[in-house]
Amino acid sequence: MPNEFRIRRGLDADLAAVEEIQQGAPEAAHWQVNEYLQYEFYIAEVTFPKIEVVGFIAWREVTTGEWELLNLAVFPAFRRRGVASVLLMKLLQLQAGSAFLEVRESNQGARAFYALHGFHQVGLRRNYYSSPIENAIVLRFQK
Ligand X SMILES: CC(C)(COP(=O)(O)OP(=O)(O)OC[C@H]1O[C@@H](n2cnc3c(N)ncnc32)[C@H](O)[C@@H]1OP(=O)(O)O)[C@@H](O)C(=O)NCCC(=O)NCCS
Residue numbers of the site for ligand X (CB under 6 A)?
25, 27-28, 72-74, 79-85, 101, 103, 107, 109-110, 112-113, 116
The CA distances from residue 112 to 32, 97, 98, 116, 125, in Å, are 27, 22, 19, 6, 19
For ligand X, give the closer residue by CB, 53 or 84. Answer: 84
Q: Minimal distance in Å, beta carbon 112 to ligand X?
A: 3
Considering only CA atoms, which of 2, 7, 114 is closest in space to residue 57? Answer: 7
Q: Minimal distance in Å, beta carbon 59 to ligand X?
A: 11
Q: What is the 8-class DSSP label of residue 28?
A: S
Residue nearest to ligand X (CB): 109
Considering only CA atoms, which of 60, 61, 57 is closest in space to residue 113? Answer: 57
For ligand X, give the closer residue by CB, 37 or 86. Answer: 86
